[in-house]
Amino acid sequence: MANKAYKFRLYPTQEQEQLLAKTFGCVRFVYNKMLEERIQIYEKFKDDKEALKQHKFPTPAKYKRDFPWLKEVDSLALANAQLNLQKAFTNFFSGRAGFPKFKSRKAKQSYTTNVVNGNIKLADGYIKLPKLKWVKLKQHRQIPVHHIIKACTITKTKTGKYFISILTEYEHQPVPKEIENVVGLDFSMNTLYVDSEGKRANYPRFYRQALEKLARAQRVLSRRRKGSNRWHKQRLKVAQLHEKIANQRQDFLHQASRQLANRYDAVVIEDLNMKGMSQALHFGQSVHDNGWGLFTTFLQYKLAEQGKKLIKIDKWFPSSKTCSCCGRVKVSLSLSERLFRCECGFVADRDTNAAINIKKEGLKQLGIA
Ligand SMILES: [Zn+2]
């Protein structure tokens, strides 16, 4: 079984918008109520792990008695709030995350609902959702008939747009593809990657222009008096630009990963730890903005769909300092040296040389000489 999500824009009526706002509010309310209670239980049994495990935790049903208006919204949305809280605690107990936090009004407006007995249906530009009935949507691509809808997440963005992410499940056992064409990618701050054939992926010009526009809009915002009318107006403009840029970036990453997955049977990359890397190199936000993580996620499933492979090699492999021609490893190579020159006479673009080494290392892992 495999999963795939489809995201579409929703166009609710005014009445539906009101119900959506109510649902976001109820989900947050129930989440915070359950968290409040669980904090009390936690405080009480903190020193007795067994008792803590045995204790029955609150469920949304309990609050419906005291707060009957909770019955007006999709009960599956509330059930998912409980599951999310459970997940937050599991992550906390395993040390993967901090103690669960209360959801504020400013937090992301979203809820998830599940398919039960045909309560969710897609037809003729509309989607039927629990309590909301038929909501208009812009379905720019078809969901294949063998994909079964499992859950839907409805989100409202900061600029007031609605989106639905439809999670599907489908039977999928791709035949492993025989590996003939392999490419290595070297991560690059400015252009996403350089491949072992010397090609650079490059963000489209309009994307880079939008980034400059955003930086300007943010400077204007910082000069306005906080809370003033002009400040609110500018804040909306910044949020709109953020959304636009995030969409453009995602489109580009989909496109770039699609091309690679179609052209090659295996793609080799370095297993970079972005968080560690941005801290170590003081790149700050830009490494995350670069979208490498998102890109490799797309690449992974687009290759897997076709029975192809994404190979990750050790991040400590000296891909930059090694000569891809003779294998000599340089003692030092400064970041300003854009050309790689080896004693053996080999000269190549620094990033291309690294990408060739990454490819070679991947071939070794694949057992191909
Ligand atoms: Zn050499």
From 195, 265, 270, 361, active-site residue:
270
C-alpha of residue 340 to centroid of ligand 1, in Å: 9
C-alpha of residue 100 to centroid of ligand 1, in Å: 53
C-alpha of residue 331 to centroid of ligand 1, in Å: 13
Q: Is 270 a catalytic residue?
A: yes
Ion ligand 1: protein residues whose beta carbon lies under 5 Å = 323, 325-326, 328, 342, 344, 346
Tens of pLDDT, residue by residue, the chain (369 residues): 888 899 999 999 999 999 999 999 999 999 999 999 989 888 888 788 777 777 777 888 889 888 999 999 999 999 999 999 999 988 888 877 888 999 988 888 999 999 998 889 998 899 999 999 999 999 988 998 889 999 999 999 989 999 999 999 998 778 888 999 999 999 887 788 999 999 999 888 888 899 899 999 999 999 999 999 999 999 999 999 988 888 888 899 999 999 999 999 999 999 876 555 554 444 444 444 558 888 998 999 899 989 999 999 987 788 999 999 999 999 888 888 889 999 999 999 999 999 999 999 999 999 986
Residues 319/305, Cβ–Cβ less than 8 Å: no
Any idea what DSSP says for residue 178?
A: P
Any idea what DSSP says for residue 147?
A: P
Residues 347/312, Cβ–Cβ less than 8 Å: no
From 74, 186, 265, 361, active-site residue:
186
Q: Is 186 a catalytic residue?
A: yes
C-alpha of residue 349 to centroid of ligand 1, in Å: 13
Residues 359/265, Cβ–Cβ less than 8 Å: no
269 strand-pairing partners = 312
Task: Please choose, from the candidates 268, 254, 251, the residue with its C-alpha nearest in 3D space to the C-alpha of residue 313.
Answer: 268
C-alpha of residue 332 to centroid of ligand 1, in Å: 14
Long-range residue pairs from 30-34, CB within 8 A, at least 24 positions apart, any chain: 30/60, 30/63, 30/70, 30/78, 30/81, 30/82, 31/81, 31/84, 31/85, 31/103, 32/102, 32/103, 33/58, 33/63, 34/58, 34/59, 34/60, 34/81, 34/82, 34/85
182 residue type, one letter: V
C-alpha of residue 336 to centroid of ligand 1, in Å: 19
Q: Is 169 a catalytic residue?
A: no
Is this model's pTM higher than 0.95 or not? Answer: no
Q: How far is CA 221 from the centre of its chain?
A: 27
